């Protein structure tokens, strides 16, 4: 297992982290027993970063993770988010959201609290309501570090430029079919020593030959994704889902990404993905070719 430091937080984290959305049942039914086995399996593999949110399973992901971590809380860097989608991003709601997360997670502190889905609020509301609430909770010892989350890179940039947070989290923006994060976001985060967490390294399942259900009606996107994947045949392994390994290694070995998240309810899948966290990435020749294929071309 490879480890690194998560930016200015100083947290020593595994380069691969466990994502909590599937643990809430968002991608198919699961059980408390399965989640406990996956969490314990992750710890056994050396994974020490777990990321969840109240949104995942409407609280079920947090509840199950909290249950699985009984007696093992000190073994992980635990991250969650606020607020629940559909709830106003006010100071009071942020405080309440975190308090409820603490109860579900059965802990008295959260290592990293993140504003969830910048797309659902405004910059002004984030800066004037949510972040002050996070800072208050930090003063009280209920959270240790502060971050923000967004899919759109342009929404994250002001938080980097103004040095407002300890971490940022985005998804599907440093993948084999869309690596636009490398242009501005990653260099700026590195300069500011702000830790970067990257989710969906398989581009919403596209690189696993199994696009997420919510993409099925987006025919233009899938057509473009398939066009790009045709140009990646030189990376594809012979086995089924042959772009999974190169896609994970691509994100896991990026020096400017601290944590790449993998979300699964399968111990077998977790073990396979963890095996790719060995410091071995694409060759320089493979990388150089990749970066000539879709420079600055956003897919999502």
Using one digit for the tens of pLDDT, what is the confidence trace for 83-123? 999 999 999 999 999 999 999 999 999 999 999 999 999 99
Identify whether the C-beta of residue 38 lies closer than 8 Å to the C-beta of residue 265. Answer: yes
pLDDT, mean of residues 19-38: 86
| pLDDT for 265 | 84
Q: 253: which 2 tokens?
A: 């070995």
pLDDT, mean of residues 40-51: 96
| pLDDT for 180 | 97
The catalytically annotated residue of 3, 56, 171, 234 is: 56
| pLDDT for 227 | 96
> Minimal CA–CA distance to 298: which of 205, 172, 189?
172
How far apart CA 98 and CA 132 sit, in angstroms, is 13
SS3 state of residue 77: strand
Asked if residue 20 has pLDDT above 80, the reply is yes
Identify whether the C-beta of residue 19 lies closer than 8 Å to the C-beta of residue 262. Answer: yes
Give the dihedral sign, CA 70/71/72/78: positive
Q: Is 29 exposed, middle or buried (0-12, 13-18, 19+ CB in 10 A)?
A: exposed
Q: Is 266 or 26 the better-scoring residue by pLDDT?
A: 266
Q: What is the pLDDT of residues 195-245, one digit of tens each?
A: 999 999 999 999 999 898 888 899 999 999 999 999 999 999 877 789 999
Q: Which residues contact 140 (CB under 8 A, 6 or more apart)?
A: none
| pLDDT for 149 | 97
Q: Please, what are the domains in the chain?
A: 3-290 (3.20.20.100)
> Which regions of 38-181 does DSSP assign to beta strands (E)?
49-51, 77-82, 110-115, 143-149, 167-171
Helix H or strand E segment including 4 = strand 3-5
The structure tokens 């966290």 sit at: 277
Angle at 46 between CA 248 and CA 79, to 5 degrees: 80
Terminal CA-to-CA distance of the chain, rounded, Å? Answer: 30
Say whether 171 is catalytic: no
Angle at 56 between CA 50 and CA 57, to 5 degrees: 125
> Minimal CA–CA distance to 293: which of 210, 153, 170, 180?
180
Helix H or strand E segment including 19 = strand 16-19
Task: Indicate the pLDDT class of residue 287, thresholds 50, 70 and 90.
Answer: very high
Mean pLDDT, all residues of the chain: 95
| pLDDT for 1 | 93
The structure tokens 């985060």 sit at: 189
Percent of the chain with pLDDT over 90: 87
Identify whether the C-beta of residue 243 lies closer than 8 Å to the C-beta of residue 212. Answer: no
- Weakest-pLDDT range from 125-129, 204-208, 253-257, 281-285: 204-208
Percent of the chain with pLDDT over 70: 100
Task: Indicate the pLDDT class of residue 46, thresholds 50, 70 and 90.
Answer: very high
Helix H or strand E segment including 3 = strand 3-5
pLDDT, mean of residues 19-46: 89
Alpha-carbon distances of 100 from 25, 48, 103, 105, 225, rounded to whole Å: 19, 23, 5, 9, 39
Q: 292: which 2 tokens?
A: 């000539």
pLDDT, mean of residues 62-70: 95
Q: Whole-model pTM?
A: 0.95
> Minimal CA–CA distance to 168: which of 257, 85, 249?
257
| pLDDT for 111 | 98
Q: DSSP code of 20?
A: S
- Tell me the longest C-alpha to C-alpha distance in the chain: 53
SS3 state of residue 55: coil
| pLDDT for 264 | 86
């Amino acid at each position: 297992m490879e480890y690194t430091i998560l930016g200015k937080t100083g947290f020593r984290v595994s380069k691969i982290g466990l994502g909590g959305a599937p643990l809430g049942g968002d991608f198919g039914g699961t059980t408390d027993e399965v989640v406990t086995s996956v969490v314990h399996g992750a710890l056994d593999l050396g994974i020490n970063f777990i990321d969840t949110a109240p949104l995942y399973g409407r609280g079920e992901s947090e509840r199950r993770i909290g249950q699985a971590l009984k007696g093992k809380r000190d073994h992980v860097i635990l991250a969650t988010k606020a607020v629940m989608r559909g709830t106003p991003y006010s100071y009071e709601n942020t405080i309440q959201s975190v308090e409820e997360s603490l109860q579900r997670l059965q802990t008295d502190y959260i290592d990293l609290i993140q504003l969830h889905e910048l797309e659902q609020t405004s910059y002004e509301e984030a800066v004037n309501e949510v972040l002050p609430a996070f800072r208050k909770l930090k003063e009280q010892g209920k959270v240790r570090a502060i971050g923000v989350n967004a899919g759109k890179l342009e929404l994250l940039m002001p938080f980097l430029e103004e040095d407002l947070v300890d971490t940022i989290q985005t998804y599907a923006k440093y993948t084999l079919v869309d690596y636009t994060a490398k242009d501005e976001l990653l260099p700026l985060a590195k300069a500011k020593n702000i830790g970067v967490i990257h989710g969906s390294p398989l581009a919403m399942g596209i690189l696993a030959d199994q696009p997420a259900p919510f993409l099925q009606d987006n025919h233009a996107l899938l057509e473009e994704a398939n066009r790009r994947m045709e140009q990646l045949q030189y990376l594809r392994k012979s086995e089924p889902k042959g772009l999974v390994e190169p896609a994970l290694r691509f994100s896991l070995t990026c020096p400017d990404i601290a944590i790449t998240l993998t979300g699964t309810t399968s111990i077998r899948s977790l073990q396979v993905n963890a095996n790719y966290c060995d410091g071995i990435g694409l060759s320089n020749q493979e990388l150089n070719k990749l970066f000539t294929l879709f420079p600055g071309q956003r897919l999502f």
